[in-house]
Structure 1
């Protein structure tokens, strides 16, 4: 696999460029900071985002404090200047880079394509996120990872030799890798991020509905009903052609990544 290189002082790779922008926010006399007073495990007062990223990665920082920080960051990214969008990306970069590294294994194109797809999906999910939700960073990284995985599947499918008799092939369906379908449905406003997370976790990852419901503080019956309504709406939108344009899934998994 190949790596994109920098031109001048600005990296051409999307994640490298995000790190450079994040570094700029973190330097100087007035670095971008998050108010952490009253949050267990975090210093009181404004904490620069560069320092905050390390604290959020620490196992000693309680989940509630991480959620509170991400709630602030996402709310500001959705309502304030672009520096908060850069801050959100920078705080999530460890997770985004880890996902990109896993997906790059065996990838024979420029890994910058994967990185750009992952970053773009993260930004789409960031705009749609509910700041009051929990485990926000994990959700955003999951959506970004799904987009990168879908790109690998699409690339592998296009490179897989098909039959010499195209008339014998199944017609293209208006959907492809389920993760990508969910991501596009969220981007189009057809599903909320929470609904996509529910379907993705319990259908695609085979997590128990009871576990998802417990993590989100809702009764199991509520989670089941939410999933049923969201899936019914998604199926109807697919039939109407409102969620389309996704690659045909191959009979096998040529990407070899599940």
Structure 2
């Protein structure tokens, strides 16, 4: 089940959240939603109270999702259902927040699929996490009086995912070369990075980023400012590249002659 922690300041008890999601995100949400909708007291909305074309009874959220996906469900019906879902999530959090993500899964999967084309599994996981977290944060701020609530939620989630994707497709031009891989400043770590680039384990940009910020002690904030990129996005990209590099060293795919230097905490 997703690990969710809530930090709700007393002045705004239903708006601020700090959320940590388990990496297996979408499948975990789907399983959790189904568990919440099983048994004699499923997580459900009252269709009779909401009206707007919904069945006049309690509707488990798994069934609600199917109803909203059906072509017969018009915009008014979808907005009424989402208005109730979000109100419950803002009031009670926890299960209802998961319920909102679960009902939105078909739309979120389409967003993630579009953003994740030609990316690695690791990058796809990061994009997925950013899309879902962006969606959850939007639950607190979306204007429920305006139409097309779900569409606007997905647009916000997509923007969050695009920020993550931009960190993975940074163009490398002569102006952004941090140091040339063809002529490393010296030392075995540079040779390892060059080997990893040649094998496609990390990109030239990622090798330059690691070499500059880890081996030459250039502050990552300064690099981000120089390249015009967000610090968090750059830090995440470096972390993912270093994880692939460590795996390659352990697997013996790149030179292990400097394995000891890679175990230094500073790396």
Query: Would the TM-score normalized by the shorter structure come out above 0.5?
Result: yes
Give 3-state SS (helix, strand or coil) of 1:28's partner.
coil
- TM-superposed deviation, 1:138: 0.9
Q: Counterparts in 2 of 1:1-258, with a 5 A limit?
A: 12-37=23-48, 39-110=51-122, 111-157=124-170, 160-163=172-175, 172=225
TM-score by length of 1: 0.58
Partners of 1:174 and 1:245 within 8 A in 2: no
Whole-angstrom CA distance in 2 between matches of 1:247 and 1:28: 42
65-74 vs 148-157, greater mean Cα deviation: 148-157
RMSD of aligned residue pairs (Cα, Å): 2.9
Q: How many residue pairs align between the two structures?
A: 168
Over 3 Å counting, the alpha-carbon distance change for 1:23 and 1:162 in structure 2 is farther
Over 3 Å counting, the alpha-carbon distance change for 1:124 and 1:246 in structure 2 is same
Whole-angstrom CA distance in 1 between matches of 2:40 and 2:26: 25
- TM-superposed deviation, 1:108: 2.4
Whole-angstrom CA distance in 2 between matches of 1:145 and 1:122: 8
What runs of 5+ residues in structure 2 fail to find an aligned partner? 1-21, 179-223, 235-267
Partners of 1:41 and 1:65 within 8 A in 2: yes
Over 3 Å counting, the alpha-carbon distance change for 1:67 and 1:20 in structure 2 is same
Bigger radius of gyration, 1 or 2? 2
Over 3 Å counting, the alpha-carbon distance change for 1:175 and 1:160 in structure 2 is closer
Task: Say which structure, 1 or 2, has more relative contact order (CA 8 Å, 6+ apart).
Answer: 1
Over 3 Å counting, the alpha-carbon distance change for 1:173 and 1:46 in structure 2 is farther
Deviation digits for residues 184-230 of structure 1 (CA, Å, limit 9, x no counterpart): xxxxxxxxxxxxxxxxxxxxxxxxxxxxxxxxxxxxxxxxxxxxxxx
